[in-house]
Every structure is written in C-alpha cells, then in structure tokens.
Amino acid sequence: MKIMITGGAGFIGSALIRYIMNNRPEVEVVNVDKLTYAGDLSSIPYESESRYAFEKVDICDFDKLRSVFEKHEPDYVMHLAAESHVDRSIDGPLVFLETNIIGTYNMLQASREYLNKSNKDNFKFLHISTDEVYGDLEGTDDYFREDTPYAPSSPYSASKASSDHLVRAWGRTFNLPILITNCSNNYGPYQNPEKLIPVTILNCINNKPIPVYGDGKQIRDWLFVDDHVKGLLKVLEEGQVGNTYNIGGDNEVKNIDVVGEICSILDEVSPRQNESKYSDLITFVKDRPGHDVRYAIDFSKINKELGWKPEETFKTGMRKTVLWYLENQAWWKQKVSK
C-alpha cells in the first residue's frame, strides 16, 4: 500500500507519517509538502528508509502535482496540506484562498486524471478538514454532527468549508472516491509554537506573559494528535466512500482552563525559581475578531461504524504534551528563532 500525504511536514501530517512508519511496515509513504514556515522535516526522521519519499511541491502547482502522481503511483491520497492559523487568515486571507481552495482543486483534478489513467480499483481521496467549518455553538448544548449546516466565521474556516464543498462535488460529479473528516482542535508534540498550547508552554518556560483572548471562556474540544491520526487511518481503510466522519476528543475545555492546566502541570514538574505560580503570567488581551465561542463534536458515527474513540483524556494528553516540550527544547528553539 502506498499513501500520498500532502502537508506531511506539518503538525498533523508529520504525526501521521511517524505513526505509519513506526506501526505499519507494509505501508509506503510519499510526503508532498511546500515547506512553509509551519513545515519541518526534522520531525520526520525517515530520509534513509526505502518506503519513505519526500517531494517538495506546492499543491498550487498542478504540473508538479501531476508529475508526483506519475512518479509514485499512490493507492491513496490523504490531503492535509493547508494554511491553518486563524489569526494569519485575518491578517492575510489571500494565501488561505490560494492554498486551501485552489490547492485542493488541483489535488482533486490531479487525482481524477491519475485515476482515469491508472484504473486503480481501490483508490481513495481522503480530505482532512476542521470543525471550524460548522461555525459557532454559542448558547446551545448541541454538538457538531456530520449533517450540521456550514457557517464558517473566519477566512480560514471559510476557505476550508469551500474545500470541503469542492471535494463533495468531485465525488458526486466525477465519481472520485472521496472521504472527508472534520476534526476538533489538535494538540501534542511538534505543534508549531504559534498555537495556544505551545504558546502557553513556551511562555511559561521563558517567564513571558501568557496571552488569553477576551475572557478566556471560549470552549474547544481537544483531540490528542496521535488519537486523530489513528482515526484518519480508520476512515481511509474502512470508511464508506462518499461519507464524512467527525473526529473529536470528547474533551470540551475553556481556553482559560487549558492554560490553567498547563500552568498546574509546570508548577509540579518545573516550578518557577521565585516560587510564584505560572498562572501569574496570564494576561488577558483584546479578543480575536469574529471569535467563535464554542465548538463541540459528536463523533458517534465514527465510533459506531468504525469502532474508533480517543484513547487520551485531556489530562493525560496534556501531561504528555507539556513533558515533550520540556524534553525537546532544541526543536522548538530553532522554530521560534526563525
């Protein structure tokens, strides 16, 4: 089995590749990545292994994509390549439209062309998306389900919603065998230092203020990245073509409580020299424009149909994450120095 993974040098993509390389010896991986600021090959130590290949390619370059398909002849595509930071999408939306919409269009067209030429019987195109396409659950006790109407709030989530619609359209119109997953907020080792959890950990380590948007009461469902990648492989191999599967962590936590948990763990394992609490570093800042208040995922479909559920609780996953950042300072120091 050979899987082409776009965005494989990113946070989720690299976790997926590490899991496959460490646990699935029968699988070959083709990593297609542009290597933007968020891409990092140091998190994928498989250069010398015969069943791993890397192609530095921008998914907005259709001709190069076509060449990658022709060269490697993948059985499956797992499309993770995307611009994914909400704040960056507010400051500069265009690159999000280019990568997330046009790039996805290119991937669909290249896959369709390749499938028509190769006639691979079991080819599948799995598009990895986000729960942010569904919008905001403020004021309700409801959950995002696979049939929840889309109502994106940010340029990022609007671009991902657009890509989801393209994937469904190519499945219906051109009979491309597609699958879609929408996941909740991922966290874990190797996450780019711009995200909430690594920002909090690193600011604690460096005794810097910890920025918290608004009142910090925004609620997110947190999914440990290794649980996510196991769910993705379940969907790829066992999911029903044409279907969408929501992948959630069953961990609804307020942002301020996420920060508080990190501070508590660090108080225990790496106390501040002045004996004050890390929570003293919390600084409330002006809220993000259009900030959604609550996300929550109902993952009962993937649980009932494919037998997947998250293994990590919020507390166990967060402890693993904090300890990883403490033990791998060389990795994140080279990221923050760029």
Catalytic residue ranges? 131-132, 156
**Are the C-beta atoms of 286 and 255 separated by less than 8 Å?**
no
CA distances, 166 to each of 147, 257, 309 (Å): 16, 37, 28
Tell me how far the alpha carbon of residue 114 is from its chain's centroid: 26
Instruction: Tokens 């923050």: give the residue.
Output: 336
Say how far apart CA 44 and CA 18 lie, in whole Å. Answer: 7
What are the C-alpha distances in Å from 224 to residues 108, 115, 187?
Answer: 28, 33, 5
Cα–Cα distance for residue pair 147/230, rounded to 1 Å = 23
Q: Which two tokens stand for residue 87?
A: 């704040």
For residue 2, give the H/E element and its range.
strand 2-6
Compute the distance between CA of residue 244 and CA of residue 150 in angstroms, rounded to an integer: 13
8-state DSSP, 250 = S
Residues in CB range of 127: below 8 A, 6 or more apart: 79, 104, 163, 164, 167, 178, 179, 180, 181
Going by the DSSP 8-state scheme, the letter that residue 251 receives in this structure is -
Distances 326 to 202, 205, 269, 332, 338 between C-alpha atoms, Å: 9, 8, 10, 10, 20
> What whole-number distance in Å separates Cα of residue 302 and Cα of residue 158?
24
C-alpha torsion sign, points 85, 87, 89, 95: negative
